[in-house]
Amino acid sequence: MKSFAPRAIFFDLDGTLVDSVPDLAEAVRRMLVELGEPSRTDAEVATFVGKGIPTMVERALTVGRAPISPELLAQAITSFMRHYEDTNGKLTRAYPGVVEALPVLRARGLKMGVVTNKAEAFIGPLLDELGLGGFFDCLVGGDSLAKKKPDPEPLWHACQTVGVSREEALMVGDSGNDALCARRAGIPVLLMTYGYNEGVPVDTEDCDGLLSSFLELPPLLKTA
């Protein structure tokens, strides 16, 4: 795999930095109980993650089941947000190597940010709960801007926020959604093989390399 010389690295959150499915799935189940709908397993919810909370909630209610009304979807989203505020960070854990690698990247003088489709209100509290908040110079959520991934705007905004050009940036994610966002933004992208990717094999995605461990990232980086 080729090496990279970025001044800034932007990370997806769920499925890249952290395994958040246990908390997301618990909030989904509480929502479904509240609405009188059939439950979902962690494995099912894992395939629903990636395109933001509204899409995840809609998939939890409709995949393999009957369509729902816009009114029920709006009620479900409100319910999920309330329950996820309670579950966020309870069972979520950083993936192996993340805690060890982030200080190494910071020591090299790299700017770092999180660019995720998770609602902005949940990002900071989750990172702080895991002791990771201090490593990031910007946090861009799915509702931070008018558009979210795979639109390139979140990555461009992150570049502007930390003061780098897109030629000086690198994206690290776990899904085709991350890869497409980076391609549209004109930024190279590496994908982790352990993430979610909506049930699609990650090695089928258009990216610049695959990593099976977060600790594989620092050796690929050279001084810009």
d(CA 30, CA 170): 37
Three-state SS for 139?
strand
Say if residue 12 carries a ligand binding annotation: yes
Catalytic residues: 12
Say if residue 203 carries a ligand binding annotation: no
d(CA 176, CA 201): 9
Sort strands 18-19 and 93-94 into parallel, antiparallel or unpaired. antiparallel
Say if residue 42 carries a ligand binding annotation: no
Binding annotation for Mg(2+): 12, 14, 174
Binding annotation: 12, 14, 174
